[in-house]
A and B are shown apart, each in its own frame.
Chain A
Amino acid sequence: DVKVTQSSRYLVKRTGEKVFLECVQDMDHENMFWYRQDPGLGLRLIYFSYDVKMKEKGDIPEGYSVSREKKERFSLILESASTNQTSMYLCASSLRVEYIQPQHFGDGTRLSIL
């Protein structure tokens, strides 16, 4: 079974803080993704990476950055947290860049910015 692990289930931070969300997968997947999920808006792609040190912007990259120094680890960084970044953050991975490969999700991090 694919295992995608997110470092925290719940996180509370203050406005202006730099926030790090970590994600690790154990299946040697090439692709990793960060989404946020908000009621009524569904899952929205923030960033994805198809290789170490490679990254691509998703639909809503503003206010976020990412880092992928090792194949198994993909970090999402909120440079200066704001209240509108309060959300559920979901990390996912997939085997290769092919259309038949589904994405597998971690348990999610519910982030609150006060």
Chain B
Amino acid sequence: QKEVEQNSGPLSVPEGAIASLNCTYSDRVSQSFFWYRQYSGKSPELIMSIYSNGDKEDGRFTAQLNKASQYVSLLIRDSQPSDSATYLCAVFTGGGNKLTFGTGTQLKVEL
């Protein structure tokens, strides 16, 4: 089992819709969780971090964390074509002092 798993996609949503991106992780002691956005040919850019169970909102982005289910998600409201990118989930395990990345979900927002 991979440490951090994401559906590779592509996930296609119409402009204005809510995009829902999901991530599961295997290490129960994981302490912090990050979402990065990566445009084609570019480097990852941090967009959200979350550390405790529940929801965290920042503009059109909402991160959701459920540690009991080992599940973290990213919701993008009012999706725009500029949101089309690959979204990487990253999980920090304190014991290993390492940030482990999923392979990313490709999101396509269609006009």
**A contacts, CB < 8 Å to B:** 40-43, 45, 50, 58, 90, 97, 99-100, 102-108
Within 8 A of A (CB), among B1-54: 31-32, 34, 42-46, 49, 51
Q: How far is the CA of A96 from the CA of B98 in the complex (A)?
A: 12
Q: How far is the CB of A9 from chain B (nearest CB, A)?
A: 10
B72 CB to nearest chain A CB (Å): 14
A43 contacts across to B, CB distance below 8 A: 44, 88, 101
Give the size category of B's interface with A.
Answer: 20 to 34
Instruction: Report how far A107 CA is from B41 CA in the complex, Å.
Output: 9
Task: State whether A42 touches B104 (Cβ < 8 A).
Answer: yes
Question: Which residues of chain B are near A107, meaning CB under 8 Å?
Answer: 42-43
Shortest Cβ gap from A39 to chain B (Å): 9
Q: Is there contact, CB below 8 Å, between B43 and A103?
A: no
